[in-house]
Amino acid sequence: MRCPILKENEERALKILKEALGNKFDIIDLRLFGSKARGESSHESDIDVMIEVTDISPEIEAQIDDMIFEINLENDSFISAVIFSRKELEEGPLAESPIYKIVQKEGVPI
């Protein structure tokens, strides 16, 4: 993914995240959204990502959070993630949540 709004270390962090997630989980979708995706970021902006997995549990969410924490430390980045499961989106009310609608509208596939 080449996004002119992202710094080199941020692009590297997202690449590492995508690879690490793909090696460990069944990832359905991974998107950049928020100010970075809109091209409106400032120097202090975080890197908002949406991760959609087949299945979610507190353990999986904790593993993903730990993975992101390590990637942020190693790359001097600040990835902030929202995680959805396919089941939550198909069978629950989350598909109508404001954050999910924003991701669908402005999200950039990673």
Give tens-digit pLDDT for 56-82: 999 999 999 999 999 999 999 999 999
Task: Give me the DSSP letters along 77-100.
Answer: --EEEEEEEHHHHHHSGGGGSHHH
Please say whether the beta carbons of 29 and 52 come within 8 A. yes
- Angstrom distance (rounded) from CA 70 to CA 78: 10
Domain 8-109 has CATH 3.30.70.120: no
Reported as a single tens digit per residue, the pLDDT across 26-45 is: 999 999 999 999 888 888 88
Residues 6+ apart with CB under 8 A from 87: 54, 55, 56
Question: How far apart (Å, rounded) are the C-alpha atoms in residues 60 and 82?
Answer: 13
Domain segments of the chain as ranges: 8-109
pLDDT digits (tens, 9 = 90+) for 81-98: 999 999 888 888 887 889
